[in-house]
Chain A
Amino acid sequence: MNRIAYINNQPHAFHEGETILKFVKRVTGQEKIIPTLCDAPNLDPFGSCRVCSVDVALEEGGKTKTMASCHSPVAAGQYIYPDSKQVKKLRKNIMELVLTDHPLDCLTCEVNGNCELQDVAAQVGIREVRYPEGKNHLDRTKDLSHPYMTSDMSKCINCYRCVRACDEVQGEFVLSMAGRGFDSHIVKGNDLTFMESDCVSCGACAQACPTSAISDVFQSKAVHTEETTRTICTYCGVGCNLEVNTANGEILSIQAPYDAQTNGGHTCLKGRYAFKFYNHPDRLRSPLIKRNGKFEEATWDEAYTHIENELNRIKAESGPDAIAGISSARTPNEENYLMQKFIRAVVGTNNIDCCARVCHSPTALGMQRAFGTGAATNSISDLEHTDCILVIGANPTDAHPVTGVKIKQKFMKGVTSIVIDPRRIELAKYATYHLQLRPGTNVAMLNMMLYYIISEGWVDDEFVANRTEGFEALKKEILALDMDEMERLTGVDRNLVKEATKAYAASKAAMEFHGLGVTEHSQGTFAIQLIADLVMITGNIGKPGAGMNPLRGQNNVQGAADMGAQPHQGAGYLDVTDPEMNHRYNTFYKREVPSHIGYKIPEMFDAAINGDLKALWIIGEDVVQTDPNTNKVIKAMESVDLLVVQELFMTETAMRATVVLPGASFLEKEGTFTNGERRIQRVNKVVEPLEGTKPDGQIIIDMMNRMGYEQPDYTAKGMLEEISQIVPFFAGVKWDELGQNGKQWPVKPNGEDTQMLHIEEFKNGKGQFAFYSFSESKELEKYSKDFPYIITTNRELEHYNCGAMTRRTGNVDILTEDVLLIHPDDATKEGIADGEFVCVESPRGKVDIKALVTDEMKPGILSSTFHFPEVMLNIITSDEHCSEAMCPEYKVVSCRLRKSKGKFKQMAEASTVVTN
């Protein structure tokens, strides 16, 4: 077909389905050639403002028809006149109408100089408003109820961009128009304030608003910014790009770039608004050395000397294996690389681990066993190509909000969707199937699914034959299973499982996502391998819209493991026990690196308690608050001679340190983060490190040099050059070539990156099927009789892990405490009312926590978070862990309940009085 249309009589080729607006913008290269108000880069065309109208004729100079260019597709042979006299007049007339109901207080308006209404008014040349004074909405009051969101609806022009952002981007439906015609107006919820509404504070509406009608307390759209720096969010593994606005070296606000592949103009409230921790008064500003049980401020030199002496002493007395390090998945690749290098090459031990241990270590191990690579097989953008989404043990709308809402958008639009989770999480409400299993029974559930696929003949025979090994053995084991037993174990109707399985198997491309609800179990790695079975048996790997995609927890947990912050594999996942690899490391680091596997985190704690481990160096991880069985962790911390903690804040772990070193936040340093889809992105320094603090990489380098290892001063570029020589899949990664959206590893030496893995073959050739049968957690076997409830831990949107950062932002005003989710039946049985304090006791200890009565879980199942040190929920969690990867079993904890006594009872009564 002839795809030619004319702009001012000049012929141009157009793309199929292209709107006139996009066509004219593209051809002319002028973004603002046609004025628009209701159009926005990340929203569907809407056609309300009509200022984008153009004249269109069917022949040169012929009779024209006025069309809104934003939603009218170009047709062959059209003669488009984007700036005819008539349309210019029309635009001016529309703007004149708009200004009859808009305050003309531009000089004092927050968005003065950065207001789209102002720009369009100037562009169309409005000089007067001729209408007599009439009805208007100038007297609307401001809404300043919320810690972040603000509104001044007198500035609203009814473009619906906020409503559409809340719907099309976030999918939350907090905003709508209400009323009709001239009276139509934006409402939050059923005409509430932002604070009263269900707003999740993502800020999409504020960013979308072309005026200051909806904004935020940071006045993100104001023009007082001097500089804008693009960087990567430090919270979860989605890897959202942020544009950070600064003036005078101070951060003013954060917005989301529309061209970011990870987040396309969107963020959650953590990314956009929870940045005020960076210069919070609580930030550590000086090294501290504990003397006689008290911290004393010290110079860097004193602190370094103290550490150096202690490390040398311990090494001399007990050998290098008495020293261990825990690197931080919050810090960039380069710093992780340095930490593991320091521990391995300078200290001389493989006792290095990172928080991947307590989250996705089973994923890495299980997927390596099955596919050869322990990382997401596909990219998040594959959601555009999938027709079935399976979410297992993940609650992405809270924990990975930007990816979560992308998934939710697909769920809402009716893609076949399956959620396997003990809780009726947000996604489960929209899912086609929710398999609400009992915590700890993933293996049984996956066995059931495999059973139906095999017994019903839903196997992708061709894929299985060509790409995999071990199918026959799997088949034999699976077919021998007793579905009655599986049904009883999981507590899920087998027909529902069968139906959901059929939907997964029958889809053209099914995409799997999972989180810690799979890994944090005693059978975590087995469950991962069974998911890999499910993916392979249906041929859902190596093609668009499919794959197995762990939702990595921390912003750089993928990178921390990639860089070798784990005891059995060095940088680039090379096996430390393999002589050839060992030789490679020795040569590269110019030091003898041990070839025996070091301690995993739980082993470090055991070794500390039994006296084998004398020194522990932790970067940016609050193990006391977040690792299970707090009392044991505390004991471990108190057992070592030297506990070095690099931190931003005086966390529960830092409090127990012998030396505290004040690190720098992500906003104060440069490097790269690797997100959950293997995307290596540039973290650019926004502001200088707070006085008295140092970037964590430089701290490590300082120590390396002091301990006799020559390591040049830190630059991200220099570090990447070094890393690219040892990490095979970083071969082509260069600081200057990462661009705005980074590159997905493996990156070939020529710089070419990889969106999808395992297309032709798996890393190790054939995919490996494996069978594992269900076994009950020892926690339940041992304790369920006396501790009949199961508590499973989760996350809340507003807070990040131990909350050291988010609790020092406005987020804490939105979500103020950890609560215990309890089923109404259980609440009745235990005589507990909503809002009352409950004492939850496990074999490890007890905590008092406020009850939130909800039927999100089945009776007998409780759920809570560990964001707040006031509760310290991990006092009750167990140190059972995955038999293979040693990931702790946070998801299955035996406990019993009773109403709180003493001060908690009084606290609940006091808060009830306040509420009433």
Chain B
Amino acid sequence: MSKNLSELSGRGGIVDNLFEKMGNAAEKSGTVSQEELDRLAKEFLVGKANTYGTVTAYDFMKPENKGKKAYICNGSACLCAGTQDKVMDSLSEHYKREEIGHMTCLGRCHENSAFHIGGVNYSGDASQKMSEIVSTQGALQPKDAYNVGSNKELLTEAFTDVDAYYSIIHDVLKRSPEEVLGEIKDSNIRGRGGAGFPMGVKWDFCRKAESDTKFIICNADEGDPGAYSDRYLLEERPHSVLFGMMVGGFCMGAQWGILYIRAEYPESVDIVNAAIQELRDRNLLGDNILGTGFNFDFKVIKAQGAYICGEETALINSIEGQRPEVRTRPPFPAIQGLFNKPTIVNNVETLAAVHWILDNGGSAYAALGTDKSTGTKLVCLDSFFNKPGMYEVEMGTSLRTVIDDFGGGFKEPVKAMHIGGPLGGMVPVSKIDDLAIDFESFSTNGFLLGHASVVCIPEKIEIIKYLEHLMEFAAYESCGKCFPCRLGTTRGQEMFAKAINDENYKIDRDLLNDLLDTLQEGSLCAHGGGIPLPVKNALHYFEDELSQYLA
């Protein structure tokens, strides 16, 4: 969080972007050459250490990524599904081991066996056509299919055409920003990214910040294994996201909407770019849109593989070409964010709701769901369900309804569900009937709604192994800035691994509890702070299974 680096990186505005240039430079070989890094450092007046330090922190730019030709998904859902050994075997027939890298969750949790070759994602039975995929290099682009359903269609409402969809923008831009923001506030919509902060309040902070330049960023770095609802919106309803950002920009006085889309979703990047072009074709972007004096444009920034960029300040650092490290608050991004300018970062799903809110009124939205959790929620179900897919349910819908009515029940015995991403709670099947899809229900029961994606842990997988996987993920994706997370996640992973591999070693319960408390209380952000929750849930609900490893 260097103010100098933010400022220097911002001299080129968002158009001439350091991070984008680094990403482009890494495209071919998998990393950025020393000469190019030094050249970029000179161009942006930053240190050689800075460009080097940045690329080494991203999976798809770091020197170790050089020469990688294929990537296999190692996300929780594919891991639990147990499909990846086979995929690896299949990949190994065509690539040397050192040419195969990892991608953590391609968002194909509904059919697993996910891998990535030449900018294209594959899953399901695609690995059976490996020879064809390898030989055609990206020509074969099978679109994955998953169920979509709803008991209240807001985000999944049928999309007719662009012109019809944007017909209400004329009215919106004629109203005052305060008035439009009032509708958002009335809707009581809370951020779908995990923290659940009211979007209207957030926009208002930024609106009040004095600056000629402001940004609204869509956090499309959906890194949580198990979640593919953002991917759904980006690929199936891109205009809902763009519309939401435009309105956000209008409300707070931002001239730029930036979509930070993860590299693991190459299709999303293309589709969103095409949607932006549709707006450009209709003169709905640029200066003085529809003669209202409103200036707004979009920029897509492709992420480069760092889960922590889902955290908004790390994401901002990333766009600046800095290391994806979490910033301290204050200053909050709404006051001093991207390039030190007021910035709002919203989740894809939150932004996608704006169109419905403005079409139907804030109070209509507020009338849906529960008192404190208004509207609907997208829930992703993985391949352990009979009907894997993405479902939109009204907030407050019981978890049982989701599992049975939408998911069609489990395919095979499941002992727990990890809901809401790696930092979400581990819900034992015994708790299903206590829970409903809303923020309060999950938190009062000691879980976290988070992204509300569901990764099932089947009976056949040992909880300790799942915990080791979780800690390994947490350690691998830790930005390394704060001491508790940098050191604690690694020590946690080591303890679980040792307990699994060394029968003479038992984890000291006090030490484990101290570690979890240290992570939870001491960490700078929700990454280190959140990882203890599923572990604590496991220790609580699976004491019998885990006690053999503890002393």
The reply to whether A182 and B490 form a contact with Cβ atoms under 8 Å apart is yes
A854 to chain B, nearest CB (A): 13
Q: Of A47, A68, A89, A175, which one neighbours B514 at CB under 8 angstroms? A: A89
The reply to whether A173 and B46 form a contact with Cβ atoms under 8 Å apart is yes
The reply to whether B480 and A182 form a contact with Cβ atoms under 8 Å apart is yes
Q: Of A46, A51, A132, A190, which one neighbours B48 at CB under 8 angstroms? A: A190
Q: Of B45, B478, B495, which one neighbours A132 at CB under 8 angstroms? A: B495
Q: For the complex, is A600 an interface residue (Cβ under 8 Å from B)?
A: no
Contact with A along B471-498 (1 / 0, CB 8 A): 0000111111111111111110011001
The reply to whether B52 and A176 form a contact with Cβ atoms under 8 Å apart is yes
Contacts of A49 in B (CB 8 A): 482-483
Return the chain A residue nearest B52 by Cβ.
A190
Return the chain A residue nearest B502 by Cβ.
A132
Q: For the complex, is A741 an interface residue (Cβ under 8 Å from B)?
A: no
CB-contacts of A176-206 with B (<8 A): 176-184, 187-191, 197-198
Q: Which of A92-100, A681-689, A711-719 contacts B (4 or more CB under 8 A)?
A: A92-100
Q: Of A66, A135, A157, which one neighbours B494 at CB under 8 angstroms? A: A135
Return the chain A residue nearest B515 by Cβ.
A93
Q: For the complex, is B457 an interface residue (Cβ under 8 Å from A)?
A: no
The reply to whether A173 and B478 form a contact with Cβ atoms under 8 Å apart is no
CB-contacts of A145-199 with B (<8 A): 157-158, 160, 164, 166-168, 171-184, 187-191, 197-198
The reply to whether B49 and A48 form a contact with Cβ atoms under 8 Å apart is no
A192 to B47, CA, bound (A): 13
Return the chain A residue nearest B487 by Cβ.
A97
Q: Given A97-B491, A101-B487, A413-B3, A190–B49 Cβ distance below 8 Å? A: yes
B346 to chain A, nearest CB (A): 24
The reply to whether B34 and A190 form a contact with Cβ atoms under 8 Å apart is yes
A124 to chain B, nearest CB (A): 12
The reply to whether B494 and A188 form a contact with Cβ atoms under 8 Å apart is no
Q: Given A48-B482, A98-B483, A130–B508 Cβ distance below 8 Å? A: yes
Q: Which of B4-12, B147-155, B230-238 contacts A (4 or more CB under 8 A)?
A: B4-12
Q: Of B7, B49, B483, which one neighbours A188 at CB under 8 angstroms? A: B49
Contacts of B46 in A (CB 8 A): 173
Q: For the complex, is B522 an interface residue (Cβ under 8 Å from A)?
A: yes
The reply to whether A412 and B7 form a contact with Cβ atoms under 8 Å apart is yes
Q: For the complex, is B240 an interface residue (Cβ under 8 Å from A)?
A: no
The reply to whether A189 and B517 form a contact with Cβ atoms under 8 Å apart is no
The reply to whether B56 and A179 form a contact with Cβ atoms under 8 Å apart is yes
A100 to B518, CA, bound (A): 15
Contact with B along A44-65 (1 / 0, CB 8 A): 1111111101000000000000
B499 to chain A, nearest CB (A): 10
Q: For the complex, is A29 an interface residue (Cβ under 8 Å from B)?
A: no
Q: For the complex, is B511 an interface residue (Cβ under 8 Å from A)?
A: yes
Q: For the complex, is A869 an interface residue (Cβ under 8 Å from B)?
A: no
The reply to whether B49 and A189 form a contact with Cβ atoms under 8 Å apart is yes
- Max chain B Cβ within 10 angstroms of own Cβ: one of A68, A173, A429: A173
Q: Given A98-B487, A187-B49, A189-B47, A47–B494 Cβ distance below 8 Å? A: no
CB-contacts of A271-320 with B (<8 A): none
- Max chain A Cβ within 10 angstroms of own Cβ: one of B5, B7, B45, B484: B484
The reply to whether B2 and A187 form a contact with Cβ atoms under 8 Å apart is no
CB-contacts of B55-69 with A (<8 A): 56-57
Contacts of A89 in B (CB 8 A): 514, 517
Contacts of A66 in B (CB 8 A): 521-522
Q: For the complex, is B159 an interface residue (Cβ under 8 Å from A)?
A: no
Contacts of A189 in B (CB 8 A): 47-49, 52
The reply to whether B484 and A178 form a contact with Cβ atoms under 8 Å apart is no
Return the chain B residue nearest A179 by Cβ.
B56
Return the chain A residue nearest B505 by Cβ.
A132
A180 to B478, CA, bound (A): 7
Contacts of A187 in B (CB 8 A): 49, 52-53
The reply to whether A412 and B490 form a contact with Cβ atoms under 8 Å apart is no
The reply to whether B498 and A94 form a contact with Cβ atoms under 8 Å apart is no
A131 to B507, CA, bound (A): 9
Size of the B side of the interface (Cβ < 8 Å), in residues, is: 60
Contact with A along B1-42 (1 / 0, CB 8 A): 111110110010000000000000000000000100110000
Contact with B along A770-806 (1 / 0, CB 8 A): 0000000000000000000000000000000000000
Contacts of A93 in B (CB 8 A): 514-515, 517-518, 522
Return the chain A residue nearest B54 by Cβ.
A176
Return the chain B residue nearest A182 by Cβ.
B490
Contacts of A157 in B (CB 8 A): 483
B157 to chain A, nearest CB (A): 40
The reply to whether B49 and A94 form a contact with Cβ atoms under 8 Å apart is no
Q: Given A168-B2, A178-B53, A48–B483 Cβ distance below 8 Å? A: yes
Q: For the complex, is A430 an interface residue (Cβ under 8 Å from B)?
A: yes
The reply to whether A167 and B48 form a contact with Cβ atoms under 8 Å apart is no
The reply to whether A179 and B3 form a contact with Cβ atoms under 8 Å apart is no
Q: For the complex, is B355 an interface residue (Cβ under 8 Å from A)?
A: no
Q: For the complex, is A409 an interface residue (Cβ under 8 Å from B)?
A: yes
The reply to whether B486 and A173 form a contact with Cβ atoms under 8 Å apart is no
A180 to B57, CA, bound (A): 5
A93 to B517, CA, bound (A): 9
The reply to whether A414 and B50 form a contact with Cβ atoms under 8 Å apart is no
A198 to chain B, nearest CB (A): 7
The reply to whether A181 and B489 form a contact with Cβ atoms under 8 Å apart is yes
Q: For the complex, is B291 an interface residue (Cβ under 8 Å from A)?
A: no
Contacts of B329 in A (CB 8 A): 71
The reply to whether B48 and A94 form a contact with Cβ atoms under 8 Å apart is no
The reply to whether A48 and B524 form a contact with Cβ atoms under 8 Å apart is yes
A402 to chain B, nearest CB (A): 17
Return the chain A residue nearest B11 by Cβ.
A414
Contacts of B483 in A (CB 8 A): 37, 48-51, 94, 97-98, 157-158
The reply to whether B47 and A198 form a contact with Cβ atoms under 8 Å apart is yes
Contacts of A178 in B (CB 8 A): 49, 52-53, 56-57
Q: For the complex, is B302 an interface residue (Cβ under 8 Å from A)?
A: no
Q: For the complex, is A86 an interface residue (Cβ under 8 Å from B)?
A: yes
Q: For the complex, is A134 an interface residue (Cβ under 8 Å from B)?
A: yes
Contacts of B480 in A (CB 8 A): 158, 177, 179-184
Contacts of A171 in B (CB 8 A): 4
B532 to chain A, nearest CB (A): 13
A503 to B323, CA, bound (A): 34
A430 to B18, CA, bound (A): 17
A130 to B512, CA, bound (A): 10
A227 to B537, CA, bound (A): 58
B492 to chain A, nearest CB (A): 10
Q: For the complex, is B328 an interface residue (Cβ under 8 Å from A)?
A: yes
Q: For the complex, is B395 an interface residue (Cβ under 8 Å from A)?
A: no
Return the chain B residue nearest A187 by Cβ.
B49
A93 to B488, CA, bound (A): 10
Contacts of A728 in B (CB 8 A): none
- Max chain B Cβ within 10 angstroms of own Cβ: one of A47, A49, A66: A47
The reply to whether B4 and A413 form a contact with Cβ atoms under 8 Å apart is yes
The reply to whether B522 and A53 form a contact with Cβ atoms under 8 Å apart is yes
Q: Given A53-B521, A130-B511, A134-B494, A177–B484 Cβ distance below 8 Å? A: no
Contacts of B293 in A (CB 8 A): none
Q: A180-B480, A181-B489 are in contact. List 12 more A-B contacts (CB 8 A).
A: A48-B482, A86-B521, A93-B518, A97-B484, A132-B494, A160-B481, A177-B323, A177-B325, A187-B52, A189-B48, A190-B37, A197-B49
Q: Which residues of B contact A (CB under 8 A)?
A: 1-5, 7-8, 11, 34, 37-38, 45-53, 56-57, 306, 323-325, 328-330, 475-491, 494-495, 498, 505, 508, 511, 514-515, 517-518, 521-524
Q: Which residues of A contact B (CB under 8 A)?
A: 37, 44-51, 53, 66, 68, 71, 73, 86, 89-90, 93-94, 96-98, 100-101, 130-132, 134-135, 157-158, 160, 164, 166-168, 171-184, 187-191, 197-198, 409, 412-414, 429-430
A selection of 24 A-B contacts at a CB cut-off of 8 Å is A46-B328, A47-B524, A48-B483, A66-B522, A71-B328, A71-B330, A73-B330, A93-B518, A97-B483, A97-B488, A132-B498, A168-B3, A173-B49, A173-B50, A176-B50, A177-B325, A180-B324, A180-B476, A182-B486, A189-B49, A190-B37, A197-B49, A409-B4, A413-B7
